[in-house]
């Protein structure tokens, strides 16, 4: 378990900024009693309270399996990929959101993209190729993805055209 390097921090924050934008500040600048930090352990990036981090230092690296919330992992080529375990944090601070109708929930959960027929609502002025969090109509976060079309273009397309590409 170690702090992130400059390159790793940049990769993580760029990926998070695609989904939560300027709300990234809320993850970093927290009150002293609720301070959190990012740590790297076995190519995985964890977001955990500082108190938990201090407790985890007493456990040897081979014996430490996980701590905090896993935000993602670095691939062998050095790219950072978000994992579904960070969905709670993304949903809390998401800048752009998409709500899916009940018939479209299961297809999305099984790995399919969101089509216009399953689209319930979308945040106004969502640009194309922007990270979004996908919610059910009951405001339960289901996953996240990337928009295939902007909000303006979405109004003009047919019911079988893609609106959101499935990520996790």
Residue 53 confidence (pLDDT): 87
Q: In which residue are the tokens 């992130």 written?
A: 4
pLDDT in tens, 108-166: 999 999 999 999 999 999 999 999 999 999 999 999 999 999 999 998 999 999 999 99
Residue 65 confidence (pLDDT): 85
What DSSP assignment string belongs to 128-166? TT-EEEEEETTS-EEEEEEESS-HHHHTTS-TTSEEEEE
Residue 85 confidence (pLDDT): 93
Q: Above 90 in pLDDT, residue 63?
A: no
Q: Above 90 in pLDDT, residue 52?
A: no
Q: What is the mean pLDDT of the chain?
A: 92
Q: Which residues contact 124 (CB under 8 A, 6 or more apart)?
A: 151
Q: Above 90 in pLDDT, residue 91?
A: yes
Fold of 6-89: Nuclear Transport Factor 2; Chain: A, (3.10.450)
With a pLDDT cut of 70, the percent of the chain lying above it is 100
Q: Where are the domains of the chain?
A: 6-89, 96-166
Q: What pTM, to 2 d.p., does this model score?
A: 0.88
Q: Which residue blocks in the chain are alpha helix, DSSP H?
A: 6-20, 24-28, 50-56, 87-93, 102-109, 151-154
Q: Above 90 in pLDDT, residue 57?
A: no
Domain 6-89 and domain 96-166, same fold? Reply is no
Confidence band of 56 (pLDDT split at 50, 70, 90):
confident
Fold of 96-166: 2.30.130
């Amino acid at each position: 378990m170690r702090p992130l390097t400059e390159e790793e921090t940049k990769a993580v924050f760029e990926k998070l900024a695609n989904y939560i934008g300027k709300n990234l500040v809320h993850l970093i600048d927290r009150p002293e009693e609720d301070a959190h930090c990012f740590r790297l352990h076995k190519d995985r990036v964890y977001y955990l309270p500082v108190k938990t981090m201090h407790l985890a230092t007493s456990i040897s690296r081979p014996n430490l399996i996980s701590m905090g919330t896993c935000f993602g992992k670095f691939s062998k080529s050095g790219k950072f990929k978000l994992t579904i375990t960070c969905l709670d944090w993304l949903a809390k601070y998401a800048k752009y959101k998409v709500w899916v109708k009940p018939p479209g929930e299961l297809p999305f959960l099984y790995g399919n993209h969101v089509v216009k027929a399953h689209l319930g609502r979308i945040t106004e002025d969502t640009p194309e190729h922007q990270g979004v969090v996908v919610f059910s109509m009951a405001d339960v976060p289901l996953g996240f993805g990337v928009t295939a079309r902007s909000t303006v273009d979405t109004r003009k397309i047919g019911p079988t055209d893609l609106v959101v590409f499935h990520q996790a």
